[in-house]
Structure 1
Amino acid sequence: MGSIKQDLKETCLGLFETAQEKYDDFVQFLREAWPILAILLVGLVGVWWYADPPPPRNVIMATGQPGGSYDALGKKYAAFFEKKGITLELLPTQGAEENVAHLADRNDPVQAAFAQAGTFNPQELTGVLSLGTIAYNPIWLFYRGPEVKGSDFQAIKARANFFLNARISVGTKGSGTYAQAMHILKANGFQEGPHFLNLSTPESVAALQKGEIDAAFIVDAYEAPNVQKLLADPKLHLATFDRAQAYARLLPYMQILDVPEGAFSLTRNFPPTDIKLMAATTNLLIDDRMHPALQFLFLEAAREINGKASFFSGQGEFPSFRKSGVPQSPVSLHYEKNGSPLLMLYFPFWLAELIDRLIFVLLPFCALAYPVLLSLPGYRNKLMRRKLDKLYGILKTYEQELTERFLPEVKDEYLKKLDLLEYQALQLRVSKSLSGDYYALRTSIDYVRNCLNRGVHPYQAREDLTAVQVAPI
């Protein structure tokens, strides 16, 4: 039993001594190699700073008209970014065309924007990428007067008894509502005329309810206050798109939304039958120079804000990466397959981003430093051996001078030189592999000192002693 305890004690002692030895060698190594390591680190930090700069703390995003759904959505994004320590500055605009123009201008500070599909030509955009679609924007056509059945709308082009005479708001020019309304009207063969009014959404709602206009196109979310106000008005009717499949073929960016009977109001049984609506999707567009970390943050905001179930979309349906019509960001491709980086799930944004960037610099640092570190022990041994050889050379010079021209009056001077040489040897921090050479040097210095302390010529015996040693017995 005692033997086992003794073995364990000796093993632990050996491990401790080994660890202590390695620690001492490491500390000594750092003392000698720190300039090289510092140069490597400074160089890599410089590359890191320019190759992967930190993300800006202020981002400008173009939204839409004040009070509109994009304005409200932008405020939700701004609140999300604020929790992450980033300021998202919202820029109100007149609509999608202006938003896209901001992003396409390479000198414009706007870096993100909401834009409806169909309001811009993707082939004409440069420097703009998509982070996916984030919402449906139903196309609502509310009208006054007698309810027009779907079969009657089929004959509209022939009779022109409604669209050619009715006063219809098609939205302000440059807005998503205007773009979608004109796509639909032109697809049916109607051209813009004086009875097509360019009213904003709030103006259209007010004019329609007062009877100042006969119909109004509105492109907005189901939850939007303006839409809810019109859906709740029993004097107004909602047009259905019975030829939805045809619209989807002619306008590929369009989505078909099914509305079951009574979905808008069970008490009114509104709509009275199952209907189909057309919808554009909202694209989350960015400047292609946006920092990848910010792109991940926008995608996380889209998942948290737009990924919730709504009237027309299911839980987790958005962000979607289909039919955006704009080149997809590589970051969104990564997000679609792998989600957000793990660090962003467990750490605050600023810390996750910092760790990610540190990994970016530490990996190449290790790749470069590893072979250097491997070569340093050999370099260090060569350096120590060179210092030992230098001290040996000085000692040999002293010994040669004493042998060739020794004078008793210079004895003290040489003793002082030997003391200084020994002091220089004591300042060396050699590895254990060079301990033999180190102590051999100190022994040699002591040998020369002993020779000087004999009181006679240190390297020449007295003649009488020599004669005694060589006399025959």
Structure 2
Amino acid sequence: MVTAAKDFLKIYWPLVLVAFAGLVLTLMLMDPAPPKTIRFAAGPLGGAYYAYAERYQRLLGEQDVKVTLIQTAGSVENLRLLDEGGVDVALVQGGLATPGDAETLRSLGGLFHEPFWVFVRDEAGVKDFGQLRDLRMAIGPDGSGTRLLALDLQGEFDGVWPAASRNSLTGTAAAGALIEGKLDAAAFAASPDAVYVQALLRAPGISLLPFERAEALSRRQPALAAVVLLRGVVDIGADLPAHDVSLVAPVAQLVVKKSLHPAIEALLVDSASAIHQDGSLFARAGAFPDPDSTDLPVSRQVQRYYANGPSFLRRYFSFDLANFLDRAWILAIPLLTLLFPLVRVAPPIYRWRVRRKIYIWYKDLRDLEARGRDMPTKEERAVITDELEDLQVEIGELDVPLSYTDDLYRLRNHVEFVKHLLMNTRPTPGLGA
């Protein structure tokens, strides 16, 4: 086995050297590895965005990618942090992106409907959104998608509203103030799974305000979709809600910096599929993630993922190994193209090199034979015989593979033949001259 390995290296050592040099060059020129840490703008603590961000953190952590969650006021701040480079990934309410954002940001797809919930106290006697104008209403803090959407809708209903209708409370704080009677209404752009939404749907004395003109609003506000909270979908046994409720809803999307590594994009989409593919109160299973429910360009990597699913390598290898192979194969192809002809030509070259080590001695042997034939006496030819014996010794020290031993012994037999010839024949002038 050792001999076979030595023979292999003797034949193919140039190829081994070329392959090693090619590997080093590949490692130097290949695309950089994906980062091991990313920053995720997660929205306010306790909100649906933050809960989803924690699920992304857990799934990416299983692939050895650390996700640092950044607590923010909401979608508007998330977009600002993405533009400024403060975070790499964020959950963003649909409809907030500007034309400038399309130059630097990419969407990984819409993830879920984020209905605009407006809860009111029954004692307020409100039946339409426009009737909230003179009431105490919470619409979220500056920097939140809820506030921006609420202001847009207030503008649709009689322009600028009083300050009392633009309270900055949000989430559980706003829900608590509404239940305690400190507010008359509270608005939230949130997932149906948000704890405070579920609590308000069941709270006595609190009603969900319908948008009877939801379809019209969706035509006037392209970022909004008209959705219906079906009767009993929240709780069949309790018949909650007791009737269908028309709502408007933007679609939350996963947004990344344009410069984010494609492998991290693929990992995020993979996680999004696991997190958001189940049905919700407003969409059937498999509706999300959806590359068409976005207001930002979708990256090429993500388009391929939605069209073909995970790459072949990601199906069968770990994230790190699949990513390494995916980055290396582009440079490996020209390297293999170079190695294939070298593999074919290496054995003939090796055979020539080994036989050359043997055949080169025939020149010396012919010269000694010619000189010996020119000597008139046996005594003088004996000097040549001594040189032939020295030649024999040198030939015996040649190191050749076993498969070429017959050529070596044939040469030694020829040396012996010339010795015998010189000692038993008369000189023949001119031979070999």
- What TM-score results when the alignment is normalised by the length of structure 2? 0.86
After TM superposition, the structure 1 stretch with the greater mean CA deviation from structure 2, 254-263 or 274-283, is: 254-263
Q: How does 1:308-457 map to 2 (within 5 A)?
A: 308-357=278-327, 359-360=329-330, 362-404=332-374, 406=380, 408-409=382-383, 411-424=385-398, 427-429=399-401, 440-451=410-421, 454=423
Aligned partners of 1:143 and 1:214 also within 8 Å: yes
Q: For residues 403 and 431 of structure 1, what CA distance do their matches in structure 2 show? A: 34
Aligned partners of 2:111 and 2:276 also within 8 Å: yes
1:222 corresponds to: 192
Q: How does 1:74-473 map to 2 (within 5 A)?
A: 74-106=53-85, 108=86, 110-144=87-121, 145-150=123-128, 156=130, 162-163=132-133, 165-191=134-160, 193-195=162-164, 196-265=166-235, 269-357=239-327, 359-360=329-330, 362-404=332-374, 406=380, 408-409=382-383, 411-424=385-398, 427-429=399-401, 440-451=410-421, 454=423, 460=427
Aligned partners of 1:451 and 1:459 also within 8 Å: no
Q: For residues 243 and 213 of structure 1, what CA distance do their matches in structure 2 show? A: 25
CA deviation string 1:285-322 (max 9, x = no partner): 12233333322221121111111222222222211111
Q: For residues 311 and 34 of structure 1, what CA distance do their matches in structure 2 show? A: 66
Q: Kindly provide the amino acid, as one letter, of the partner of residue 310 in structure 2.
A: S
1:36 corresponds to: 15
Q: Kindly provide the amino acid, as one letter, of the partner of residue 115 in structure 1.
A: V
Question: Judging changes above 3 Å, is the alpha-carbon distance between structure 1 residues 386 and 235 closer, same or farther for their aligned structure 2 residues?
Answer: same
Question: Judging changes above 3 Å, is the alpha-carbon distance between structure 1 residues 276 and 401 closer, same or farther for their aligned structure 2 residues?
Answer: farther
Question: Judging changes above 3 Å, is the alpha-carbon distance between structure 1 residues 445 and 286 closer, same or farther for their aligned structure 2 residues?
Answer: farther
Question: Judging changes above 3 Å, is the alpha-carbon distance between structure 1 residues 193 and 422 closer, same or farther for their aligned structure 2 residues?
Answer: same
Aligned partners of 1:48 and 1:360 also within 8 Å: no
Q: For residues 396 and 62 of structure 1, what CA distance do their matches in structure 2 show? A: 86
Q: For residues 177 and 188 of structure 1, what CA distance do their matches in structure 2 show? A: 16
Q: For residues 273 and 58 of structure 2, what CA distance do their matches in structure 1 show? A: 14
The residue matched to 1:66 in structure 2 has which SS?
Answer: coil
Question: Judging changes above 3 Å, is the alpha-carbon distance between structure 1 residues 24 and 413 closer, same or farther for their aligned structure 2 residues?
Answer: closer
Aligned partners of 2:113 and 2:252 also within 8 Å: yes
Among the aligned pairs, what percent are the same residue? 27
Q: For residues 32 and 316 of structure 2, what CA distance do their matches in structure 1 show? A: 22
Q: How many residues align structurally?
A: 423
Question: Judging changes above 3 Å, is the alpha-carbon distance between structure 1 residues 418 and 265 closer, same or farther for their aligned structure 2 residues?
Answer: closer
Q: For residues 372 and 261 of structure 2, what CA distance do their matches in structure 1 show? A: 74
Structure 1: gaps (5+ residues) = 1-19, 462-473
Q: For residues 106 and 78 of structure 2, what CA distance do their matches in structure 1 show? A: 13
Structure 2: gaps (5+ residues) = 429-433
2:431 corresponds to: none
CA deviation string 1:58-117 (max 9, x = no partner): 2222211111111111111111122223222222222222222232235x4x32211111
1:469 corresponds to: none
Q: For residues 371 and 189 of structure 1, what CA distance do their matches in structure 2 show? A: 78
Q: For residues 259 and 413 of structure 2, what CA distance do their matches in structure 1 show? A: 69
Q: Kindly provide the amino acid, as one letter, of the partner of residue 194 in structure 2.
A: A
Aligned partners of 1:418 and 1:449 also within 8 Å: no
Q: For residues 140 and 241 of structure 1, what CA distance do their matches in structure 2 show? A: 10
Q: How does 1:45-84 map to 2 (within 5 A)?
A: 45-84=24-63
Aligned partners of 2:140 and 2:147 also within 8 Å: yes
Question: Judging changes above 3 Å, is the alpha-carbon distance between structure 1 residues 393 and 113 closer, same or farther for their aligned structure 2 residues?
Answer: farther
The residue matched to 2:296 in structure 1 has which SS?
Answer: coil
- What TM-score results when the alignment is normalised by the length of structure 1? 0.79
CA deviation string 1:320-343 (max 9, x = no partner): 111311111112111111111244
Aligned partners of 2:15 and 2:339 also within 8 Å: no
Question: Judging changes above 3 Å, is the alpha-carbon distance between structure 1 residues 27 and 130 closer, same or farther for their aligned structure 2 residues?
Answer: farther
Q: Following TM superposition, where does structure 1 have runs of at least 4 consecutive aligned residues deviating by more than 4 angstroms?
A: 23-27, 265-270, 354-362, 403-407, 435-440
Aligned partners of 2:137 and 2:185 also within 8 Å: yes
1:132 Cα offset (Å): 0.8
Q: For residues 208 and 426 of structure 2, what CA distance do their matches in structure 1 show? A: 122
Question: Judging changes above 3 Å, is the alpha-carbon distance between structure 1 residues 45 and 191 closer, same or farther for their aligned structure 2 residues?
Answer: farther
Q: For residues 176 and 306 of structure 1, what CA distance do their matches in structure 2 show? A: 20
